[in-house]
Amino acid sequence: MYINGEWLELEKTFAVFNPTNGQQIGEVADGTQQHAASAIAAAGAALPDWSASTAYERSALLYRAHQMMMQRQRQLAELMTAEQGKPLKAAMNEVKYAADFLLWFAEEAKRIYGETIPSARSDQRFLVHKQAVGVVAAVTPWNYPISMLTRKIAPALAAGCSVVLKPAEATPLCAMAVFEILHEVGIPAGVANLVTAADPAPIGQEFCNNPTVRKLTFTGSTAVGKRLAQDAAPQLKRVSMELGGHAPFIVFDDADPVHAAKGVSLVKFLNTGQACISPNRIFVQRSIADTFIDTLQQRIEKMRAGDGMDPANSIGPLVNQSAVDKVERQVQDALAAGATLHSGGKRLLDNGLDQGFFYAPTLLSGVTPEMLIYREETFGPVAPVITFDNEDDVLAMANDTSYGLAAYIYTQNLSRAMRTFEGLQFGIIGINDINPTSAAAPFGGMKESGLGREGAREGIEEYLETKLGGFSI
């Protein structure tokens, strides 16, 4: 663990495994609730000086962290592939994306503006000032184990907050590598702290109950996010949540079905479907469904699963056995209820893949609302296709979920694109675009997919309080 500027070793540790082959690749300190409390105390002690530092000083440190992360891009990517399982090319892209947040918020640190407001009284002046919210507790997931860290740490540090991070227990090595960078660039002791633990519950409890923490930021499942928000509520802590998704991907009949199928194949199977913005329900207008399904099947059958270090492999492992079981349950339920299997539909066990958690890229058609896969987030490599007849029907089906993170539209009709964009109840929508994300763009969901936004200028506002001064002169 990294607390108050020092790396701490504990006698009690937990092992970290490669999901590709099940081999142990390291072990890390197994922290306790008391360690979380110590880290929070260190962050609280460091806060006054850090928040009083100039925006230019904070910016310079984030610039240096960006440069160092890019210098270590391949090293970090190889660690990510070993620890999380995604193909090396995807890991390289993620490190670049993670570094983008350091660069963006290095710039935004110098753009924390206040304002003056005219008063009705001639002897009064109003001054609006933005300042750091305080100590931030952050909890990050395993599926994007570096970019999700910088998406929270960078704006918090830029705003003048100090941070305590609890990374996912499956990917602590990536978090340690990021904190090595923060240490080497000279982030002051106590400003950024890392607590690793095999059991996240006591750490989360301390984050919610400790009054020194004034802001909680979490990325993960909706169920856990709701629990954390509930536990943080008695102290009225600021919370931001990036939670689950159940993204619709809508292909209208005026779109090129071949082009749309290629787009789906790229985004659906990115990170083996383990992304909160991954398309989970693929709605295709009936007249072009056959061409779309044929194209998607051809592309899926060319995908190869295996060790991400091999550039020929585009499908990595799922995170653990529970993830495999969930995918298997959804697929079998769909088939029992009448869905058609075009590709995949089974766990991969040949050629040494039985040592990891591999599931074949899968294509289903004939999916209906009664099936589990229509309602539940999959987080796996399964593409379920649902046909529709008209615009009103598909909009109602797409919005028929408690989630509201991401959605996708393929159409060449500008009016239809605008109507659907405005009608979809989702926070991020790609129109003929499978990658509607950037450090410069706000990321977040509606309904039960979260609270607040990350990235963009909105991202730093999540870590700032607004203070009003009324001056009598």
- Could you please report the per-residue DSSP string of 348-383? --TTTGGGTT-B--EEEES--TTSHHHHS---SSEE
Q: Contact 327/378 with Cβ under 8 angstroms?
A: yes
Identified catalytic residue from 83, 108, 242, 462: 242
Q: Contact 2/176 with Cβ under 8 angstroms?
A: yes
Place of tokens 């309602």: 375
Sheet with 6-7: strands ordered across: 6-7, 2-3, 192-194, 162-166, 135-139, 213-219, 238-242, 450-451
Identified catalytic residue from 94, 161, 276, 377: 276
Query: Euclidean distance between the first and final Cα of the chain, in Å?
Result: 51
CA distance 173 to 194: 11
CA distance 90 to 101: 17
- The answer to whether 174 is a known catalytic residue is no
Class of residue 14 by CB neighbours under 10 A (exposed 0-12, middle 13-18, buried 19+) = middle
CA distance 217 to 165: 10
Sheet with 115-117: strands ordered across: 115-117, 124-132, 464-472
- The answer to whether 301 is a known catalytic residue is no
Active site residues: 242, 276
